[in-house]
Structure 1
C-alpha cells in the first residue's frame, strides 16, 4: 500500500476495533473519543428497562472506573464478525470482558470525514463465574 492510500475498509475497521478494545481495557477516554462518533449512542436492556447514554454521559463513567488493565485482568476481546452495508456503513459484533461482566457488543460504524467511527453500541452482558 502506498503511503497516500487509505487502508482497505476491512483493515480500517479491524484497526478501529483494536483501538476500541484498547480504550476499554485501559479505561482511556482519549482513545474512546477517537473511535466513537460524537453523536454515538450507548444502549442496553440487559438489566430490565432500556438504558441509553450519549457520549457526554458515558465518558465520565469510564473515567471513574478502575481499568481492567490496572486490575491485572487479561484481555479477552475478539471480533466475531464484520459486515459492510456499503462503502461507508458497517456492522461489527465483538466480545470483551470487564470483570465481572462478559459483553457482546453490536457496533454500527460509519465512515465520515475520511475515517471509520462507531455510531452506536448496543450490548448485552452476562456475569462471569467467580
Structure 2
C-alpha cells in the first residue's frame, strides 16, 4: 500500500468516525458514495438501506457526543486491492452497542469514498 493511499483512506475513516460520533450527516455524506450500501444481518429481516434512507436515520438520533459518550473508534486494518479499491475493518461504539464494520472503498474522481458498509452489532454488557 502506498503511503499516500493509506493517508487518504485514514482521513476518510477519521471523518467517518467523526460523522458517527456527532451525527454529522454532511460529513457522512462526504465519505459515503451516493450509491453506497448499508447492511447488517443482525436485524431480522436483513437490514439494507441506501444512503437516502440511512442519512435521515443518523440525523434523527441523539449524537453520542451530546451524551458525553467516550470515543471507541479504531482502525483494525486497511487493505488495497489495487489503485481504486480498498477494504477497511474498523470498530466503533454507539450507546451500549459496539460495531465491527467492514467498509469497502472505491477511488473515483480522485477521491476515496465508502461504497459499502456491512456491519456486526455486539451488545456491550453493563
The yes-or-no answer on 1:116 pairing with 2:73 is no
Scaled by the length of structure 1, the TM-score of the pair is: 0.93
Alpha-carbon offset, residue 20 of structure 1: 0.2
Q: CA deviation at 1:27?
A: 0.3
Give the length in aligned residue pairs. Answer: 124
Distance in structure 1 (CA, Å) of the matches to 2:121 and 2:47: 13
Tell which structure's C-alpha radius of gyration is larger: 1
Instruction: Provide the C-alpha distance between the structure 2 equivalents of 1:20 and 1:93, rounded to a whole number of angstroms.
Output: 13
Matched, 1:40 2:40: no
1:27 to 23, 28, 34: 23
Q: Secondary structure at the match of 2:81?
A: strand
Deviation per residue, 1:91-110 (Å, 9 max, x gap): 00000000111000000000
Distance 1:61 1:50 in 2: 17
Shift of 1:66: 0.2
For normalisation by structure 2, the TM-score amounts to 0.96
- The correspondence of residues 1-130 of structure 1 with structure 2, limited to 5 A, is 8-130=4-126
Post-superposition, which runs of at least 4 consecutive aligned residues in structure 1 deviate over 4 A?
none
CA RMSD of aligned residues (A): 0.9
1:99-124 alpha-carbon deviations (Å, 9 max, x no partner): 11100000000000111000000000
Gaps of 5+ in 2: none
> Structure 1: where are the runs of 5+ without partners?
1-6
